[in-house]
Amino acid sequence: MEKKDFSREYDELTRDLFSRHKSVQTASFGDAYHPGLEKMVDFASILGNPHEKFRTIHIAGTNGKGSVANMLASCLSAAGFKTGLYTSPHILDFRERARIATPEGTVMVPKDYVCEFIKTWQKDMDSMGLSFFEITTGLAFKWFADSGVDVAVIEAGLGGRLDSTNIITPELSIVTSIGLDHCEILGDTRALIAGEKAGIFKHGVPALVGESDPETAPVFEEAAWMTCPLFFADKTEPSMWFAHESILKAMDLQGVTQEKNLRTVLSALDILKGIQYFAPLKDADLRSAIQNTASAMDFHGRWERLCENPYVICDIGHNAAALKYNFAQLEKLVSDGNFSSLIIIYGIMADKDLDSIMPLMPAKATYIFTTPSTPRALPAGDIASRYTSFCKSKGIRTSGIYTSSSVSEAVTMAMRLVQQLAPWDVTAPSPLIYIGGSTFVVAEAVPYFAKRR
């Protein structure tokens, strides 16, 4: 019997899902985010409390949580565990949010499962007034339970304390890092934001914090006091840290921030090794799994190479804490002579702190500011105007500033500029293109290069 093609039905149902229930793709975080767990608890109950049918690891944090989540899922699957992975946002396909990894490979939630889930629970989703994220969380949990996963790595969407994912009681709670982002919702200091992230700590469940400092460490210590054992990755030396340099060199995730993420992952694995259920974790398997995370998990948008000639890198880092490292790494690549010049395609959401990002932007770069197709985007002309004024006020001479009304147009412009800037000597370093500033920019750029392969 020929298998039914659910593609058309899937496209229609997911398009309707986006239009009926607000998401950060189509609305501001303030409109799309539903703080509080009441609706999620009720929805999970209707679904049969699927999150109680498998073990979980919960991850929150300002930056790094996607990389840490994917590395851990890769490790667990390599050790033989059928591993669910729930992350957000997606880059190319909505189904990227829910994946299952095994030693045989990684699969996204099937289209027919998505269709059946939406049709079965649509009336409940409407009557409860669920957000897009609450629905996708329920979908992931239900699919993981129905698929019989052993463990699922669950990434919090926003904050932690009031995030929809916080109905789980995990084996391990992880907070990767704390930076100033979504301040209008989580608080305008790093201490306040740390308090929201620490909301995922559970009684008796080990808690791991990737980075500590005088402002946030006391917050985590207070949240864990008399509640759960607390560890700081940057204050311990994981058992596999002796090999971290060789692991980093071999990793297919090559952003400079991955050293911090690796330390968090190795610390997490040490904690898990102390839990009898995770005894199958073996260092040799874990090392290989970490090094091949991007390919094994089909993980996109983290210092990802999209093209070799010209050399194109994309990254979804979107706040000052992340872009500080990305921009510094780009400048080093050029100053070390690896590339002749730098072209940056950049877009940003209107709710992000552009003022804190502009001082970090490489002066010796050609910029193409662009507007991804989301109502949240800051228009390219506004970015260019503000950056031009900033440069004038600081006496910075830029290599060039352009604007583009779409990401695809910006990529085409960048490819033309490469031809103009490319050296006559084919053996000499050529220009480097970087695409970033927002997940939405990356998501619209990736298909352009996929067609070229």
In the chain, residues under CATH classification 3.90.190.20 are: 304-452
Residue 244 identity (one-letter amino acid): H
Q: At what angle do helices 111-128 and 132-147 cross, to 10 degrees?
A: 130
Indicate whether 8 pLDDT > 90: no
Q: Tell me the pLDDT tens digit for each residue of 125-152.
A: 999 999 999 999 999 999 999 999 999 9
Quick one: what percent of the chain has pLDDT higher than 70? Answer: 94
Indicate whether 3 pLDDT > 60: no
Identify the pLDDT of residue 22: 61
Q: Tell me the average pLDDT across 383-395.
A: 95
The dotted CATH code for 7-297 is 3.40.1190.10
In the chain, residues under CATH classification 3.40.1190.10 are: 7-297
Quick one: what percent of the chain has pLDDT higher than 90? Answer: 74
Indicate whether 374 pLDDT > 50: yes
Indicate whether 1 pLDDT > 50: no
DSSP 8-state assignment for residue 349 = B
Question: Cα(151)–Cα(149) distance, rounded to whole angstroms?
Answer: 6
Q: What is the 3-state secondary structure (H, E, C) of 17-67?
A: HHHHCCCCCCCCHHHHCCCCCHHHHHHHHHCCCHHHHCEEEEEECCCCHHH
Indicate whether 168 pLDDT > 60: yes
Identify the pLDDT of residue 366: 95
Question: Cα(157)–Cα(173) distance, rounded to whole angstroms?
Answer: 14
Q: Of 11-20, 88-97, 310-319, which range is least confident?
A: 11-20
Mean per-residue pLDDT of the chain: 91
CATH topology of domain 304-452: Protein-Tyrosine Phosphatase; Chain A (3.90.190)
Identify the pLDDT of residue 185: 76
Q: Tell me the pLDDT tens digit for each residue of 284-343.
A: 889 999 999 988 888 888 999 999 889 999 999 989 989 999 999 999 999 999 999 999
The residues that bridge with 368 in the sheet, in sequence order, are: 345, 402
Identify the pLDDT of residue 397: 86
Identify the pLDDT of residue 399: 81
Task: Quote the pTM value.
Answer: 0.92
End-to-end CA distance of the chain: 34
Burial bucket for residue 87 (CB in 10 Å: 0-12, 13-18, 19+):
buried
Identify the pLDDT of residue 34: 64
Identify the pLDDT of residue 451: 64
The H-or-E segment that residue 314 falls in is strand 311-315
